[in-house]
Chains A and B, each alone.
Chain A
Amino acid sequence: MHLTGFDLLFWAAGFIENLGLLFVLWYRRRAKNFPFFTALITLNVVRTIVLYLVLRLGTKANYFYTYWSLALLDTVLQLCIVYEVASRVFRPTGGWAREVRGSFIWLVGLSVTVAFGLSWLASPPARTWAQSFVTKGYLFAEALMSELFILMMALSISARLPWRTHVAKIAEGLGAYSLISMLIETGHSYFGVGREIPAFVFLSHVRMAAYLACVSYWILMLWRDEQPGRAMTQEMRETIFTLQRQVEYHLHQLRSRKKL
């Protein structure tokens, strides 16, 4: 695979920025709060090194299998981050609120359906069935991620859950990046995939530039401290947990009444 100077510049910039973000995550002690996000950034650093070495020293087949194994791991980690963000935003007291949990499950179902519909509609000009499947798969994953992060933000703000925290910044960055990536995947589905297609190369550079902007945003936001919360007294904590049980009981009553 032939790489231009521009490609290498983006590659090097991405590697340095990922290292910078990893430094911020550990130095500012954010890593223990966001283990999956830290794992994703670590994977990005490791991936750059491994792929570079495989490209220089390995065969084409080695590169193919390494690339796709790491891409699969990347997608799994992104889904884990969705869970990480949701669990930190929607269960600040340690238990999922029933009302929010119901809406969240509904939201995930809707997102999967819409993303599936969009990828089903796409008809990329691919040479092989596998290439078409991969392009559609990418479109599905990016559409799903952008939906989940944006709808999670909407749900938390409408439920007036705390959103202006580090977890919100991670979700905003990933939401924006996923949306841009989805538009890029739309371009791939329309123009086709392959380094011989100028539109494909241009879109790849746009994606890398968007990622660099996103990582810069995370470095800045995660370096800053979030607004400190005040500690609750033991008495207040007990009152709140008693209330939580009452809420569940009354919710059950309301639901039974609705069914009548």
Chain B
Amino acid sequence: MTDTPAIIVDDVSKRFRVYKNRPSSLKERVTHFARDRYDEFWAIKGISLEIPSASVYGLVGHNGSGKSSLLRLMAGIHRPTRGHITTHGRISALLELGAGFHPDLTGRENVYLNAAILGFGRRETDALFDEIVEFSGLMDFIDAPVKHYSSGMYVRLGFSVAVHVNPQILLIDEVIAVGDEEFQRRCFEHLYRLRRSGVTIVMVTHNLGLVQAMCDRAAWLDHGQLLAEGTGPAVVKEYLSRVNEIEAERFEEAERAAEAAELERLAVEEKAAVAAAPVAALAERPVLLGKIEIFDRSGKPTRIATTGEPLTFRVHFLCRREVEEPLFSFAVENENGVLVANPGMRRKQEIRRTAEGDGFVDYAIESLALGPGEYQFTFAAHDAHGTMVLDKRERAATLRVQSGDEVVLGLVDLQGRWQGVTGEAREIA
């Protein structure tokens, strides 16, 4: 049995019709006279895959890449336009939890109904009923109509039924990302248990960490085509590097345009300030902050950084009169406006020089701690005591941080090192 793949996808294509103005009545069809007016759209283009039995298989890709369509084809909900899908074993699909729950029926009645939809018999359901209810943790509510359930309870019951119907193949579409922490943990534990007992699991997910951790093999789909297939970590790596590349291109282009506009604005401002040059204004803004540059490890200017890599910020400035020991600082904010860091020069600790004319300061980072995401930088120049802001450039630079080979979760990578395994190393089951 283990030699036969659980699912064989053989050169499968799927065409969907996207109706422009769908003639959903005979009248329209007659009056339009013409045939149905629709665009054809190939969601899946000639994909061949083999999903080994008793393995966990991940499908990754952008939204609209066709991975959910492929899952539906595997589940038999849709049929391939071309090619064949052969499956060995009873399939349970979790495309939507609690699909088929009837709001007026009680939890108990719905368990039986949902199990039947998944192809389970009454007596078989009887035997598993207690286990299902226990797993869901809804003992007290099982005889209440499900319309009184919270969405979390709904989902718990649905998941519980779907994983208990002894599927040989379990298809999961991004549905485990529900419920509270505790329930999610139990879901994963159960999935691991299923995997150990030889169930084939195919999951569509955006959670690359999950693919790395759980999937024996994975496939990467893009625009309905198979771009990569292999072990989970290998596919994730390939996917990430490509995604980073594409994003970097797009991002850098936008950044370049923004930077050019900003520099132009700065030049105009500077000229105006110098031209007007009232003594009072000069006293207030003796320092003008200029171009912001960011360099990667090889010293190339960039707007994309990788967690854990070296990075250097360079702030150009112009002193229009002699300024005694200016201090510089910058604030780092993430997409949500959270202040992540705010490094600044401290008195008598850093390079201090009385400046006049053009100059720059560098802020060098050995290993970038920021996690993946987009960050905004606000730069400021202060007087020697750090009490007065001489100039400030709000959100003058945007930096995109990508994760490297290792997926970094969270805002920052603490970059600590684990150590201290004492005693004999034990096999972890």
Q: Do these two chains really belong together in a complex? A: no
